[in-house]
Amino acid sequence: MLLADSGGPSVPDEHGDARHHDSARPLFIPRALVMLSSLWVFLCWILLFGFRPPVQPQAASYGPSIQMLFLLIGVGIAIGWPLLRLSARPSSAPFAQAAIDGISIFVLMQVVVWPLRLVTSWTLARAVAIDAALAAAIMLSAALLASTQSSPLPRRRTWAMVIAVALVLGPAMADMLWNFVWDTDGPSGLVATALSSLSAPTLLARFAQPSTIDPSPTDRALVFSTFFVATAVWVIAVVALLARRKTDAAMRLDREA
């Protein structure tokens, strides 16, 4: 298990890295994150469905509320999770912590996705696509956290949170603008659709719509594009970490010399 280093200076280095910071958190099991995620889903469910079932409990009755439920789950993944981590102490193991957090959230969401097939008209392919979109959205938020949650610098954490909010609101606002100004069937409409893959609420709501047909090739391409962007962010974060470690090692050698 990857743990924090016990020694080192009590202030972060010039790169804002918290690996040797005394107040940095070691890798831990995200019990609080799982509890808060469960509470968020429960509160959203109560808000949308209440305590009484519909008068006619059919798939058509549950469909719009379930779509809204996944939109709110996307808000929790894209904003709530980063807000929780970026408002806490820096992590000494940002990559491992983001990965464990993401896996915990994904496993928890399986209890939500698959039982809902009993009250929806989703096909098996659509349920699998919702699961894939959920994994892609979690991977994108985890990539953002892996690259920023080790920094103790408030400015860097604030900008990371601004990026998280922009990823949620930006695609939706761009889609509204393009629908109002330009033709949604033209190239601009394709751009707006592609941008929706970066917004977890928009992506999950798109797949969770009450539909009896399988996802289209365009919908599947959106999931792949989300995975591609998340993978690119992960690669950039790893390269930046390796570059920082190489620079730190060179500086230590210079000081020793």
Residue 54 forms part of a structural domain: yes
Within its chain, how far is the Cα of 139 from the centroid?
Answer: 6
Residue 10 scores a pLDDT above 50: no
Is pTM beyond 0.85 here? no
Residue 111 scores a pLDDT above 90: yes
Residue 96 forms part of a structural domain: yes
Residue 53 forms part of a structural domain: yes
Residues of the domain holding 226: 31-230
Distance CA(251)–CA(254), nearest Å, equals 5
Residue 144 scores a pLDDT above 70: yes
Residue 181 scores a pLDDT above 80: no
Residue 21 scores a pLDDT above 60: no
Q: Give the residue from 203, 175, 171, 205 showing the smallest Cα distance to 188.
A: 175
Residue 21 forms part of a structural domain: no
30 neighbors 99 (Cβ within 8 angstroms): no
| Confidence bin at 136 (pLDDT 50/70/90) | very high
Distance CA(47)–CA(150), nearest Å, equals 35
Residue 91 forms part of a structural domain: yes
H or E segment at 217?
helix 217-256
Helix, coil or strand: residue 94: helix
Distance CA(219)–CA(132), nearest Å, equals 11
Number of domains in the chain: 1
Residue 12 forms part of a structural domain: no
Residue 186 scores a pLDDT above 60: no
Of 15 and 225, the one with more pLDDT: 225
Residue 23 forms part of a structural domain: no
Residue 255 forms part of a structural domain: no
228 neighbors 197 (Cβ within 8 angstroms): no
